Chain A
Amino acid sequence: MTMKVLVPVKRVVDYNVKVRVAADGSGVETQGVKMSMNPFDEIAVEEAVRLREKGAAKEVVVVTVGAQVAQDVLRTAMAMGADRAILVRTDDTLEPRAVANVLKAIATREEAGLICMGKQAIDDDMNATGQILAAKLGWPQGTFASAVTIADGRIEVSREIDGGTEVVSLTLPAVVTADLRLNEPRYASLPNIMKARKKPLETVEIDSLGVDTASRLTVVSVAEPLERKEGVKVNSAAELVEKLKTEAKVI
């Protein structure tokens, strides 16, 4: 197999952090907040590395579109087993449409045979980049994947849907977006973290790609959602049922 797998990864606020809205309502506080690789992207990296280990792919290339500091998630991905990395450098926050334009340029340059990515970035919660990218490339898509198998030039994807699981078969090249249960990502071992430091990391200035990265959405404001008030503790199931009937009037 000579297939190259491209894995787009995003640096986001760590999933354990409860973000705070900035006082001026322009966004959320990211100063001094722990950042990590988007959890769905870790799953995508793991899947791509497993495909290479199984012999279904030849090379795993990770790419991020972001600031210089986003290098750290590329190093993490290489410590997990990705072969090399591309940083498409920009200081702007790009929307999925713009990211998809950048990724299309990279996928074309790299002649990727499969793009394996997260279904959703846990900061903007868009769940859109993979589908937009697939449309722009004219490739089929297997979103919300919980299992994939490659055989005879096709990829079979089990997808998590509202009522259960659906299986589709796609021609390659294709875009697959990872759901939580696709796999359990490995931890990068210390020796592998050391090795990853020596793996190639290429930096591409975003302007050199000549793609449209304009925003179509203007953020008017960002607000705190209504906080729920902490309620009361009750001592027994009987007291609970009583309160649900007479106080909350919900049963």
Chain B
Amino acid sequence: MTALVLVEVENGAVRQASRSAVAAASRFGAVDAIVFGAGAEAAAALPGVTRLLSVPGLVNDLAEPAADLLAARAKDYSHIVAAASATGKNILPRLAGLLDVQPIPDVVEIKDADTFVRPIYAGNALATVRSADSIKVLTVRGSNFDPVAAEGGSATVETIEAPASGKSVFVKVELSASDRPELESARVVISGGKGLKDAANFKLLEPIANKLNAAIGASRAAVDSGFAPNEMQVGQTGKIVAPELYIAVGLSGAIQHLAGMKDSRVIVAINTDPEAPIFKVADYGIVGDLFEVLPTLEKAL
């Protein structure tokens, strides 16, 4: 059996979530990888990848040509795998539609080549499902599979012509620039909620993040109130994180937020309300006003 992994390359480096996808796919047998746009060199260096399909002409990850191209190659593979990222979740279900198979999203555990565990109901239940499809199309959660190293492999590279996109056209992308570690791969994450009250106060998280080399996250309420951009949202419908340390500041811990962070190793909560649900999952809690606690925390670090 050979698996094909859709690998995402950003600024010349393979995303950690994609390296986790390669690690997961290697459980099925040999691994080929495919990269859209630039980045063939980085992807070919991933340990365990035998063959790399490079599609330099397909630059913006448009789902329509990407899924067409994957469908044309699919018969060579038992599994087609991607990270459960925005790109993976856009392209792979479309591919599944073209192949007429049922995709298996957000896999957190591989039991065997046909059997997978995935969370349902915002992570309040874990379903073990067995697929009867001859080609399995799945996305995997990076936080559940240790990534392969970034270097050490030497895949052969086959360059492929990009198919025409036709019905969809890329217009533009606005990426927020940040020197901080990526949310999904940071060792420490500090997240703020509605309790921070406004966008100016949200910046109070920065000095602590600097000291801990942490990524900054946010609750949905914080994003909706304009304290932080949408890509910072942690939760059922935002990013799924499982850092060594997660610090939740002024956020209540709604089911949908917990879905994105409750697998963190150590959780700290700072909240004025001793009944806030976030304390139910926190290893260490401070019941107190964040505007008093944050400055003293910064000093103590």
Point out residues on A near B: beta carbons under 8 Å.
Answer: 13, 15-16, 18-19, 21, 28, 95-97, 100, 119-120, 122-136, 139-144, 146, 156, 159-171, 174, 179-181, 215-225, 228, 230-238, 240-241, 243-244, 248, 250-251
Contacts and interface: CB of A to CB of B under 8 A. Distances in A.
Given A124-B120, A168-B62, A216-B133, A233 B287 contact: yes
Contacts of A234: 284-286
B154 interface: no
Contacts of A161: 86-87, 173, 231
A167 B76 CA distance: 33
B168 A240 contact: no
A171 B60 CA distance: 17
B266 A162 contact: no
A244 B125 contact: no
B130 A123 contact: no
B217 interface: no
Nearest to A136: B97
A111 to B, nearest CB: 18
Interface stretch (B29-37, B40-48, B275-283): B275-283
15 contacts: A125-B119, A125-B122, A141-B168, A159-B90, A164-B230, A217-B130, A220-B128, A222-B127, A225-B125, A228-B280, A236-B286, A241-B300, A243-B284, A244-B284, A250-B245
B172 A95 contact: no
B256 interface: yes
A120 B103 CA distance: 14
Question: Which 6 residue pairs across A and B have the least CB separation, nearest first?
Answer: A135-B97, A132-B97, A131-B93, A231-B283, A216-B102, A128-B93
A233 B273 CA distance: 12
A70 to B, nearest CB: 18
A133 B265 CA distance: 38
B96 interface: yes
Nearest to A130: B93
Contacts of A28: 120-121, 124-125
B200 interface: no
Contact of B173 (A119, A141, A164, A224): A164
A50 to B, nearest CB: 18
B206 interface: no
A144 B90 contact: yes
Contacts of B98: 135
A168 B102 contact: no
Contact of B230 (A133, A160, A243): A160
A156 B152 CA distance: 42
A143 B121 contact: no
A131 B97 contact: yes
Interface in B144-188: 166-176, 188
B102 A222 contact: no
A248 B93 contact: no
A13 B96 CA distance: 26
B296 A236 contact: yes
B222 interface: no
B173 A181 contact: no
Contacts of B231: 160-164
A231 B223 CA distance: 28
B224 A241 contact: no
Contact of A219 (B87, B97, B128): B128
Given A144-B86, A218-B130, A164 B125 contact: no
Contacts of A120: 237
B281 A125 contact: no
Contacts of A248: 245, 266, 283-284
A237 B104 contact: no
B230 A216 contact: no
Nearest to B293: A237
A154 to B, nearest CB: 8
Contacts of A250: 188, 244-245, 265-266
A222 B125 contact: yes
B64 A140 contact: yes
Given A128-B103, A166-B60, 12 more contacts: A97-B96, A122-B236, A125-B119, A139-B167, A162-B85, A163-B10, A164-B230, A216-B131, A220-B129, A228-B267, A236-B286, A251-B245
Interface in B180-209: 188
A220 B89 contact: no
A67 to B, nearest CB: 19
Contact of B122 (A119, A122, A171, A237): A122
B286 A233 contact: yes
Nearest to B103: A128
B101 A223 contact: no
Contact of A135 (B67, B115, B119, B301): B67
B123 interface: yes
B173 A140 contact: no
B175 A140 contact: no
Given A160-B231, A237-B297, A244-B284, A21 B175 contact: no
